[in-house]
Amino acid sequence: MSLNLLMLGPPGAGKGTQAERFARSRGIPKVSTGDILREAVQTRTPIGLRAMEIMNRGELVSDDVMIGIVRERLDRKDAAGGFVLDGFPRTVAQASALDSIMIGRDPLIVIDIVVPEEELVRRLSTRLICEVCGANATVKNDRTCERCGGRLMQRTDDSSAVVLERLKVYHQQSEPLVEYYRVRPTFRSIDGAQPPDRVAEDLAAAIEAANHQAVRHGAPR
């Protein structure tokens, strides 16, 4: 049985870090929309070229293009044993499209990482990233990336005012997504305000419980 995982959570919840950590531990790909969008553009696939035209016009990539890119990525052989989705879906419309993509596959396990807003603002407004590889800083008193040695800097969209606006947009657009999945037996919420190792432990336990529930009750695919 393949393990198909969707990570939800607001900016700063740590879902990207946890998704990468879990995917690596299970030997399955972490599918980030930012990564696969860049790859589709770079490899100049037909749908990647469509995305490039849209972005060159300064427009947001439409749902149908993003859905097509995700479908293309999940159809690859390395995702046959499972995957971890990070950053998709962002809306109920995209979630409905993902349900169609999942037809014939093992159930989708959905984990929502919950963190209080004041903690999110603190994390994001003090976050540093590497200007070379894009990794989040793990050491706050050093301006050198542990992964590649690049210089660490603050993202332009991590100022307190911008962070609050990003969280407002998240609540408007993505909270309906949580409600969309909440009724499913494969949905779980975990506390993301804990230390990363504890969050990872709770994540693994939640996934195991949701997977057991899916097998026991034959959750829809």
Alpha-carbon gap, residue 174 to 90, rounded angstroms: 6
Active-site residue, from 30, 50, 123, 166: 166
Query: What are the helix (H) ranges across the chain?
Result: 15-26, 33-43, 46-56, 63-74, 92-101, 117-125, 160-182, 196-217
With a CB cutoff of 8 Å and minimum separation 6, the contacts of 131 are: 150, 151, 152, 153
Catalytic residue from among 122, 147, 155, 184:
155
One of 26, 71, 105, 127 is an active-site residue; which one? 127
90 an active-site residue?
Answer: yes
From 26, 71, 90, 105, the catalytic residue: 90
Q: Which of 15, 21, 73, 188 is catalytic?
A: 15
Q: Distance between CA 22 and CA 177 in Å, rounded?
A: 22
For the question of residue 166 being annotated catalytic, the response is: yes
- Is 15 labeled as catalytic in the residue annotation? yes
- Burial class of residue 71 (count of CB atoms within 10 Å of its CB; 0-12, 13-18, 19+): middle
Which residues are the active-site residues? 15, 90, 127, 155, 166
